[in-house]
Structure 1
Amino acid sequence: MKEQLNKVLLSYDKSIDLGRKGIDSYSNLPKEIIHNPNYNLFEEMKNENNLSDSGRKEIYEYLSPTTTMKFIDLGCCLNLMFRGYDKWESTYYGVDISPKTIQLLKEYTQIHNISYGSLFSGSMHQTPYEANYFDIGCCIGSLEYFEKDFVKVCIEEFLRIMKPKGKFVLDIPNVGSAEFEITFLIEKSLGREDKFNLSILEFENIICKNFIIDKKENIGPMIQYFLSINK
């Protein structure tokens, strides 16, 4: 799994480097992807800002952040910059495998005088936080890169750092959908191939041991879960 973690790290570091130069990492895709019959679905999702579902108002409404809450964003990418998380009332904590992502976020918070709890560069399966530390949390657009055993370890870590009766939002790929099939090809071309190998039933059997599924929704290539902590 170290190899896969490193591939994801390098791919997102490269995306940050390109972004600093004003280059969209999705702008130079291979011809076989552009000519894929499902490529129009990708373009529609991109035009509708639906490639990442981390900025949905439903997440904010479900987590209901307040000034007394600590919020953990696992696999945070640039949510603080582009998904409105800098406007949330809660105290923000971000974890991302890409050091260049975390560096950019620190620069952003300094320029805009945004306070936060911490920004940590590392894997979401081993975080530096105490048990029962966070009131609310999310993991959006990250679990799809990993196989069953690693996903299970991540879920255990999420549970460890979340407070009893806290709330958490995460997503997994809707494997088999046309939307996921085209995004799978694109992510692979970017050097971060999706490795998720759990069925929906298998995944729900894992999370239902300590999470209550309040609702779930199909969003683009993903299935988004709204969860209450039950420990």
Structure 2
Amino acid sequence: MENQLNLIAKSYDRGIDFGRRGIDLYEDLPEHITNHPNYPMFQRLKMEGLSDSGRKEIKDYLSPDINMKFIDLGCCLNLMFNGYDKWLSTYHGVDISSKTIQLLNEFVAKKKLAIGSLYCGSIHETPFEENYFDIGACVGILEYFEKDFVEKAIVEAHRIIKPYGSFVLDIPNVNSPVFQITMLIEEHLGRPDKFNMSSQEFNVMLQDYFEIEKTEKVAGMIQYFLSCKK
């Protein structure tokens, strides 16, 4: 687990370094990826600007309001690029990449945003009190981990979200041709996907912690819209 966390941190740190220089690592992929028969579908979705984290459906479901605290687990740059800075709720972000957190702090200072906190660390061990958050999300993260870590992340999310709080997360749709390309890209970027569960197994894991209100298939992933059980 620690090795995988380190790989993910280093990979995203590297992505931030290249991004500051104006280099998009997704634009320089090897031929075994770009020549794959499923790559055009992936590229088309990317050109259409489809973002798992930036979907209107997430905001509609969470209904962020001025008196709510929102936790973004594995936040990446959602605050900068997916409109989370416009939400009325108080933003808190957690990410394993120190350079991601550094860039977000720079963004917050430059835009003079009023947020809650930005924490560099793993999503399975956060510094927050029990039942602290009204709403939360964990999108594009669980695909990197095997079952044991995924369960720890679910338990932690359950701990810090209030009873009946709304939570959105996603897991890979392993049969999707788009996810097959995503796996190749993530491997190339040095952060291989390790998710090793069926959706049925994941549903069983969730049942003691969250009520599944609906699911949607999006760009190679399955998004879950959940209510926190207590």
Could you tell me the TM-score, scaled by structure 1's length? 0.98
Shift of 1:103: 0.3
Match of 2:27 in 1: 27
Match of 1:99 in 2: 98
Root mean square deviation, CA, Å? 0.6
1:26 aligned counterpart, secondary structure? helix
1:169 aligned counterpart, secondary structure? strand
Match of 2:156 in 1: 157
Q: Tell me, in whole angstroms, the C-alpha distance in 2 between the residues paired with 1:124 and 1:173.
A: 18
Match of 1:40 in 2: 40
Q: Tell me, in whole angstroms, the C-alpha distance in 1 between the residues paired with 2:207 and 2:108.
A: 36
Match of 1:79 in 2: 78
Match of 1:3 in 2: 3
Number of aligned residues: 230
Shift of 1:164: 0.5
Shift of 1:31: 1.0
Instruction: Letter of the 1:78 partner, please give it.
Output: L
Asked if residue 70 in structure 1 is aligned to residue 72 in structure 2, the reply is no
1:1-231 matches, within 5 Å, as 1-50=1-50, 52-231=51-230
Q: Tell me, in whole angstroms, the C-alpha distance in 2 between the residues paired with 1:141 and 1:177.
A: 15
Deviations 1:164-209 (A, max 9, x none): 1100000000002111101100110000110000100000001111
Q: Tell me, in whole angstroms, the C-alpha distance in 1 between the residues paired with 2:209 and 2:136.
A: 15
2:191 aligned counterpart, secondary structure? coil
Deviations 1:119-172 (A, max 9, x none): 000000000000000000000000000000000000000000000110000000
Shift of 1:49: 1.7
Q: Tell me, in whole angstroms, the C-alpha distance in 2 between the residues paired with 1:147 and 1:210.
A: 18
Shift of 1:42: 1.4
Contact 2:155–2:209 (CA under 8 A) maintained in structure 1: no
Q: Tell me, in whole angstroms, the C-alpha distance in 2 between the residues paired with 1:37 and 1:67.
A: 46
Instruction: Letter of the 1:70 partner, please give it.
Output: K
Q: Which blocks of at least 5 consecutive residues in structure 1 are unaligned?
A: none
Q: Tell me, in whole angstroms, the C-alpha distance in 2 between the residues paired with 1:205 and 1:37.
A: 34
Q: Tell me, in whole angstroms, the C-alpha distance in 1 between the residues paired with 2:49 and 2:206.
A: 28
Could you tell me the TM-score, scaled by structure 2's length? 0.99
Contact 2:72–2:91 (CA under 8 A) maintained in structure 1: yes
Contact 2:142–2:150 (CA under 8 A) maintained in structure 1: yes
Q: Which blocks of at least 5 consecutive residues in structure 2 are unaligned?
A: none
Contact 2:135–2:161 (CA under 8 A) maintained in structure 1: yes
Instruction: Letter of the 1:42 partner, please give it.
Output: F
2:8 aligned counterpart, secondary structure? helix
Q: Tell me, in whole angstroms, the C-alpha distance in 2 between the residues paired with 1:6 and 1:188.
A: 14
Q: Tell me, in whole angstroms, the C-alpha distance in 2 between the residues paired with 1:111 and 1:157.
A: 32
